[in-house]
């Protein structure tokens, strides 16, 4: 079986990597198609790749903040004119590379296409080839089914141009989440599978192997808060309060972030260890608390490793959804309102509770057990084989 994989951005590819390894281990071929940034991450995971077009236009339309993200509660109330404008953006982005992606699928004789929920080119290609299209969610998700329903309208004619009847429904929706972390709403039910953390690879230095002398707090800004750092030269205020609390109590604080942002962090206390972008998975066994922006990858990795979380959520609806689920799980605290994030007393009380109250760790271990009981990538491969 030849499986073509694609994703809009690297963070969406990460949850798909364990499945790609399981496919290869079962004797199947996997090819990842995308732009140069996506292929850098895919190559680091040991996967075969092929470059497709899109260039600067694709990067501009997929960078953080390029498109306003509606709240799920308001999606169904959006006027048709707004969806038509969104469809125009989708068609403009796809116009830069969809011919290349479909041609690649045909030349490679793909039997199956696996895509993230918002890289609509994957499902367009599956329709053009007449093969099953698999949507692989990145974790907790309460809005992409609404987008896919709109894609059926907005991308219908594009699919017809490639000889398909229209934009297809996914043959399978893979949901790497336990039932307790599936948001409510009308999202299409997915096939629940075990989340296997993959955050990239690195040569592990000595400090990453052993236990720190003091409790470690891992601070992850994510690409959304990193953008704030790049634009303002300052950490978002909530994260500054976190650093102040941790350094005042002599905690071991680690901030993994791309080197391009390090100059903006020159003013953080010397006790804070700032390292180049680093996979957080290997650090989890010696981490007491993860502080992050609400990204599903960081949250799901923390859940899978049973580490309590403080979510200083960004204002995007999907980041707020992750924060809400962390809070409801009992394994963390989420500060969703900017006013709470800007109050040092509220931030400090949240950190003190998470570090001192064992109930958060107990709840985190319960979620980890739920994750570990789900079928993993090997079982998922058998499901996909049955579609061919």
- The DSSP result for 209-225, as a single string, is TSPPSS-EEEEE-HHHH
Last residue of a domain, one of 165, 192, 219: 192
- 111 belongs to a structural domain: yes
- What are the tokens at 112? 């199956």
Q: Which residues are 82's β-sheet partners?
A: none
Kindly state whether residue 265 falls inside one of the protein's structural domains. Answer: yes
Indicate if the pLDDT at residue 65 is higher than 90. Answer: no
Tens-place pLDDT, residues 202-260:
889 999 999 999 999 999 988 777 777 777 778 889 999 999 999 999 999 999 988 88
Which among 80-84, 91-95, 127-131, 210-214 has the top mean pLDDT? 127-131
Shared domain for 232 and 364, answered yes or no, is yes
Confidence of residue 278 (pLDDT cuts 50, 70, 90): confident
Which sign, positive or negative, has the C-alpha torsion 43, 63, 221, 370? negative
User: Is the distance from CB of 149 to CB of 185 less than 8 angstroms?
Assistant: no
In this structure, the answer to whether residues 171 and 246 fall within a common structural domain is no
What is the torsional sign of CA 8, 117, 226, 40?
Answer: negative
136-145, 232-241, 260-269: segment of lowest average pLDDT: 260-269
pLDDT of residue 277: 78
Query: Are residues 328 and 142 in contact, defined by beta-carbon separation less than 8 angstroms?
Result: no
Let me know whether 153 and 212 are in one domain: no
* Phi, psi (degrees; rounded to nearest 5) at 252: -85, 110
Q: What percent of the chain has pLDDT over 70?
A: 93
Q: Please check whether residue 383 lies inside any domain of the structure.
A: no
Residues 214 and 298 in one domain: yes
Contact indicator for 161, 145 with CB cutoff of 8 Å: no
CATH of residue 259's domain is 3.40.50.2000
Do 157 and 219 lie in a common domain?
A: no
Shared domain check, 365 and 271: yes
CA distances (Å), origin 135, targets 165, 169, 192, 372: 19, 9, 12, 22
Which of 158, 192, 226 is the last residue in one of the domains?
A: 192
pLDDT of residue 174: 96
Q: What are 352's two structure tokens? A: 């003190």
| 211 plus 163 within the same structural domain | no
Q: Picking from 68-77, 101-110, 143-152, which range would have the lowest pLDDT averaged per residue?
A: 68-77
Asked, for residue 213, whether it belongs to a domain, the answer is yes
Cα 104 to Cα 4, 55, 222, 257, distances in angstroms? 9, 17, 32, 34
pLDDT for residue 59: 58
Look over the chain and give the mean of its residue pLDDT values, rounded to a whole number. Answer: 90
**Which pTM value belongs to this model?**
0.91
**C-beta neighbour count of 224 within 10 angstroms:** 19
Answer yes or no: is 305 within a domain.
yes
Query: Domain check: are 131 and 254 in the same one?
Result: no
175 lies in a domain? yes
Task: Pick the closest to residue 25 from 387, 382, 388, 374 (CA basis).
Answer: 382
Residue 48 phi/psi, 5-degree rounding, is -70, 145
Give the domain range for residue 241: 206-372
Tell me the Ramachandran region of residue 171: left when phi exceeds 0, alpha when psi lies from -120 to 50, beta otherwise.
alpha
Same domain, 126 and 217: no
Structure tokens at 318: 């999907």
Same domain, 212 and 187: no
Instruction: Sort strands 191-192 and 2-6 into parallel, antiparallel or unpaired.
Output: unpaired
- Nearest residue to 246 via CA among 226, 216, 220: 216
Q: Given strand 272-275, what is the order of strands in its sheet? A: 272-275, 252-256, 216-220, 289-292, 309-312, 332-335
Q: Is 305 in contact with 298 (CB distance < 8 Å)?
A: no
C-beta of residue 162 within 8 angstroms of C-beta of residue 127? yes
**Other Cβ atoms closer than 10 A to 337:** 13
- Is residue 141 domain-shared with residue 163, that is, in the same domain? yes
Number of domains present in the structure of the chain:
2
Which of 192, 226, 249 marks a domain boundary?
Answer: 192
**Alpha-carbon distance 24 to 18, whole Å?**
10
What's the confidence (pLDDT) of residue 226?
78
Residue 285 is assigned to a structural domain of this protein:
yes
The token pair that represents 82 in the structure block:
């707004």
Please compute the mean of the pLDDT values over residues 164-189 and round it to a whole number: 88
Distance CA 264, CA 253 (A): 17
- pLDDT value at position 66? 46
Closest CA to 84 of 73, 95, 72, 92: 92
**216 DSSP assignment:** E
- Beta-bridge partners for 232: none
Query: Which DSSP helix (H) or strand (E) runs through 240?
Result: helix 237-248
Tell me whether residue 382 is in a domain.
no
Q: How confident is the model at residue 62 (pLDDT cuts 50, 70, 90)?
A: low
DSSP-assigned letters across all residues of 38-81:
HHHHHHHTT-EEEE---HHHHHHHHSTTSSPPPPHHHHTTS-HH
CA 163/CA 157 separation, integer angstroms: 10
Residue 71 has pLDDT above 70, yes or no: no
pLDDT at 78: 73
Q: Are residues 241 and 110 in the same domain?
A: no
Say what the pLDDT of residue 259 is. Answer: 83
Cα–Cα distance between 120 and 135 in angstroms, integer?
A: 10
Q: Is 310 exposed, middle or buried (0-12, 13-18, 19+ CB in 10 A)?
A: buried
| Distance, CA of 324 to CA of 267 (rounded, Å) | 32
The two three-digit tokens of residue 327, written as one number: 């809070």
- Is the pLDDT at 189 greater than 80? The verdict is no
State the angle between helix axes of 80-95 and 120-129 in degrees (0 to 180), rounded to the nearest 10. Answer: 70
pLDDT of residue 309: 98
Q: What is the mean pLDDT of residues 176-181?
A: 94
């Amino acid at each position: 079986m030849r499986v073509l994989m694609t994703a809009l951005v690297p963070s969406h590819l990460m949850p798909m990597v364990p499945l790609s390894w399981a496919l290869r281990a079962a004797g199947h071929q996997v090819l990842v198609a995308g732009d140069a940034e996506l292929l850098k991450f895919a190559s680091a995971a040991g996967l075969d790749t092929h470059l497709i077009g899109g260039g600067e236009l694709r990067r501009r339309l997929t960078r953080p903040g390029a498109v306003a993200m509606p709240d799920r509660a308001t999606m169904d109330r959006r006027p048709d004119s707004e969806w038509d404008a969104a469809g125009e953006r989708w068609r403009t982005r796809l116009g830069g590379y969809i011919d290349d992606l479909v041609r690649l699928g045909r030349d490679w004789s793909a039997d199956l296409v696996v895509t993230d929920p918002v890289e609509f080119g994957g499902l367009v290609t599956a329709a053009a080839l007449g093969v099953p299209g698999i949507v692989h969610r990145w974790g907790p998700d309460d809005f992409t089914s609404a987008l896919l329903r709109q894609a059926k309208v907005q991308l219908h004619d594009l699919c017809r141009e490639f000889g398909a009847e229209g934009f297809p429904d996914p043959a399978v929706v893979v949901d790497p989440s336990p039932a307790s972390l599936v948001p409510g709403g009308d999202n299409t039910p997915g096939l629940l599978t075990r989340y296997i953390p993959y955050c990239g690879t690195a040569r592990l230095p000595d400090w990453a192997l052993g236990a720190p002398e003091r409790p470690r707090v891992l601070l992850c800004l994510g690409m959304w808060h990193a953008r704030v750092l790049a634009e303002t030269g300052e950490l978002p205020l909530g994260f500054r309060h976190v650093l102040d609390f941790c350094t005042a109590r002599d905690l071991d604080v680690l901030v993994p972030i791309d080197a391009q942002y390090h100059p903006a962090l020159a003013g953080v206390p010397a006790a804070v260890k700032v390292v180049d972008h680093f996979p957080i998975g290997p650090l989890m066994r010696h981490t007491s608390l993860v502080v992050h922006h609400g990204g599903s990858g960081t949250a799901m990795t923390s859940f899978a490793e049973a580490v309590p979380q403080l979510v200083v959520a960004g204002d995007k609806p999907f980041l707020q959804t992750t924060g809400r689920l962390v809070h409801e799980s009992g394994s963390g605290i989420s500060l969703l309102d900017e006013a709470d994030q800007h109050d040092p007393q509220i931030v400090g009380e949240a950190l003190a509770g998470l570090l001192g109250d064992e109930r958060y760790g107990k709840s985190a271990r319960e979620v980890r057990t739920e994750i570990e009981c789900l079928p993993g990538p090997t079982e998922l491969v058998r499901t996909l084989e049955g579609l061919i």
